[in-house]
Chain A
Amino acid sequence: MKKRLVSAALSGVMMLSATANAADYVIDTQGAHAFVTFKIKHLGYSWLHGRFNRFDGSFSYDAKAQTGSNILVNIDTASLDSNHAERDKHLRGKDFLNVDKYPTATFKSTNVKFTDDDTATVTGDFTLHGVTKRITFKMDKVGEGQDPWGGYRAGFEGETSLKLTDYGIDYNLGPASTHVDIGLSIEGVRK
């Protein structure tokens, strides 16, 4: 009994130290050094760009061990902004994101694997429009280091293409516009 308690305590300590080594970062939405963007082809003739203005999140990252984990991003779908109020209203409505019913989109990583110093393959569950799918995409480390105000920051960027109908969004925008590219550009401040 005593042994078990000791080993439980030990493993607890080990877990603590593991999380302490991999530093936890909070995504800097406060200073808006993070962006959730999207782009979709318009008729196949140009790219339409937009972003989600309200989201938050965090991640863990260890530069020495080249490990990362626990990427978590919560997106307020109603904050969609494509620089055109009438279009945004349409995109928030039932034809597309139906934000009254599905106010949040989330990404939660299940695995982060670094292939070299600056590149990682991220796998995780993305929930959009009430549908959760496992996605895998590449993220690049942009940089990391001390900031001028006493903090420590690390930034990553990645993009993935999603098929709209996979997420139950079946409004017909034409053959060139079946997929949307979602971009994640995040600067984290070490906690």
Chain B
Amino acid sequence: MFKNTPTSYGLIAITLHWLMAFTVFGLFGLGLYMVELTYYDSWYKGSLDLHKSIGITLAAVLIFRILWRVFSPKPRPLSQNKTVNHIAHTAHIVMYLILAVIVVAGYLISTADGRAIAVFSIFNVPALDYSFDGQADIAGKIHYYGACTLIGLAVLHALGALKHHFIDKDKTLTRMIKPKEY
């Protein structure tokens, strides 16, 4: 139920998948929205604090998810087409990598001058002792373009899942929604 089997995803992998999917899209929307807020908007500061707090939390969940994936059995792909399977697998790995890059870049923007990041006003994530020239600007560009790329890949990933469901009529999508009953 909780763990993966060679044919199905467990509840933990499924929860991680959807939780992070909604969080990533939510952070993307929030990020685009907050930078357009005017200086006198009452949420000008709050939106940024929330974005950072959720982002740091997402980073912790990402680490757990990667570990969970490495140490869990991987359900076999349902398609027999090796090229398609290879593309899908590569896309998964690239999405993990880009998400990690986005999170690191976001951290580097906010900590570029040694300031810590407050997470939900509960605890602070300190800055590194090391920084480089133009850190906030360079990390900012990576954060932005990385996020756009990730959203693009996620849309392709979703389209692939829908193709499996409606055209191939296999269980690729449903097994990521419901764990196998025992």
* A-to-B contact residues, CB < 8 Å: 78, 83-86, 88-89, 92, 171-174
A38 CB, min distance to chain B CBs, angstroms? 17
Closest Cβ neighbor of B114 among chain A residues: A85
The number of inter-chain residue pairs (CB within 8 angstroms) is 31
Whether the pair B39, A92 counts as a contact (CB closer than 8 A) is no
Determine the chain A residues whose CB is within 8 A of the CB of B168 once the complex forms: none
CB–CB A85/B135 < 8 A: yes
Tell me whether B40 and A85 are in contact (CB under 8 A): no
One digit per residue, 1 when the CB lies within 8 angstroms of any chain A CB and 0 when it does not, for chain B 92-133 equals: 000000000000000001101101000000000000000000
The interface size bin for chain B is 10 to 19
Q: Which residues of B line the A interface, CB within 8 A?
A: 38-40, 109-110, 112-113, 115, 134-137, 140
30 contacts between A and B (CB under 8 A): A78-B137, A83-B113, A84-B113, A84-B115, A85-B109, A85-B110, A85-B112, A85-B113, A85-B115, A85-B135, A85-B136, A86-B109, A86-B110, A86-B112, A86-B115, A86-B136, A88-B136, A89-B109, A89-B112, A89-B136, A89-B137, A89-B140, A92-B137, A171-B39, A172-B38, A172-B39, A172-B40, A173-B39, A174-B39, A174-B40
B36 to chain A, nearest CB (A): 10
How distant is the Cα of A86 from the Cα of B114 in the complex, in angstroms? 11
Query: Chain B's nearest CB lies how many Å from the CB of A88?
Result: 7
Taking the nearest CB of chain B, how far is it from the CB of A41, in angstroms?
Answer: 13
